[in-house]
Chains A and B, each alone.
Chain A
């Protein structure tokens, strides 16, 4: 689970997220929706720590990964490196490394000290979990860049899963894919939610309706994003509380 309190995010002195507070329930799919520029991607980058790679950003607030709220992620000095095991990230543009399919998955395992004899087993299981095993088992040593867009994105999901995180953050994972590939990823998301906590940013409302258990709606006002409404999916789509949400859903 993720508990976020009073998250504020500045880029270059300009505030892009204002006082975001929400709780992500374990083993569920929380979708973050909203128009472009409402701070959805920034929100994810605050959770996984990649905001530190963007120059001149500042974040304040609290992010807790357990119910007892004992340890604020934002206090940790090198938070991505220390929490790669808990949080996995999938990006909008599939970015498999320019290595073989096998090596894409083996590299993180090797780096983090998984014993040699265990690795092939973990890799095979993970590829099965994302539904790629049948398609790539015979060509594990070929370049990952030769896969189709949908397959590359699945590979990136597998690459994140291989480290057995508890949380998966996905930034518009299907926006660069054709509808059939996107559907495949959505099915995968629904399958994964049994064991993982997923936060999926999407600008596709139809997709949100299909996959979400909870929905957070962001809106940007004068360049600064805010969380307008956060509730279980059925409730938000059927009975939106806020004016802005109603307007947005009617588009």
Chain B
């Protein structure tokens, strides 16, 4: 009995000790993660407080002359991401519909497997393909093949597996008795999908698209290889463009002082955009909960 009594106090302390240990590690990890943002902020300071800081909102990027205008690159990122979503959205949801509502058994499993694996496609490889196979095709319609549209297409291919997998997961949450009810009412498959299933899965579908948006916006390599990388405002979708992410990748190697700090400023801008997107996605989710799904 005495042995058991001793065990009790040791145990009581045990939970505390163990908990504190884990908390220590967690706190350290959180610090590290705050560190990352903090570092980027710190390195961006020289730019922020320099006399060229106001050039941030201009459209011209001539770092050697002291012009650090991010607007053209922000527009570039937004355009390329926008085109990617316009393509990947419908295609992704269509494929998810195809797999979940039209295909059975092994075929559905195989397709799902393929796209699940494709979510891990390395962007360099897609960029390589884009550069060597797509660009020559696109160059039939424009002087070079490297422009906004090419980048948009490559990016779309990059994020479409994400859209497919999240849409598939959302459609799976639609209760099966809805389909049975639709069949009992002699509703066609198309009517059921368009008028019942899609509205029911709406928030999940939106959520998936926002997720794809986050990925596309942060993508560097695939875009770098096919977008042409001229840091000017694109006048049409066949114009070359440079995105915020590619800019960092291209200039980091040789940037000094204010130039370097301005790249960190770009990094901060990227973090800010991603944060906004994440909050948008969170609010879609809470609306979901409010409806009571």
Contact = CB atoms under 8 A, between A and B. Distances in A.
Interface string A55-71: 00000000000000000
B12 interface: yes
Interface in B159-186: none
Contact of B12 (A82, A85, A111, A112): A82
B15 A113 contact: no
Interface string B1-42: 001100110011001000000000000000000000000000
B82 to A, nearest CB: 42
A198 B4 CA distance: 24
Interface in A113-144: 113
A78 interface: yes
B12 A113 contact: no
A81 interface: yes
A188 B222 CA distance: 69
B15 A112 contact: no
B4 A81 contact: no
Tell me the dominant secondary structure on chain A's binding face.
loop
Contacts of B7: 112-113
16 contacts: A78-B12, A78-B15, A81-B8, A81-B11, A81-B12, A81-B15, A82-B8, A82-B12, A85-B4, A85-B8, A111-B11, A112-B4, A112-B7, A113-B3, A113-B4, A113-B7
Given A82-B8, A111-B11, A113-B4, 13 more contacts: A78-B12, A78-B15, A81-B8, A81-B11, A81-B12, A81-B15, A82-B12, A85-B4, A85-B8, A112-B4, A112-B7, A113-B3, A113-B7
Interface in A32-82: 78, 81-82
Nearest to B16: A78
Contacts of A82: 8, 12
A111 B3 CA distance: 12
A121 to B, nearest CB: 17
A249 B3 CA distance: 49
B200 to A, nearest CB: 30
Contacts of A78: 12, 15
A85 B12 CA distance: 14
Contacts of B11: 81, 111
A112 to B, nearest CB: 6
A113 to B, nearest CB: 5
Interface string A84-113: 010000000000000000000000000111
- Shortest 8 CB-CB distances between A and B: which pairs? A113-B7, A78-B12, A81-B12, A113-B3, A113-B4, A82-B8, A112-B7, A81-B11
Interface string A14-36: 00000000000000000000000
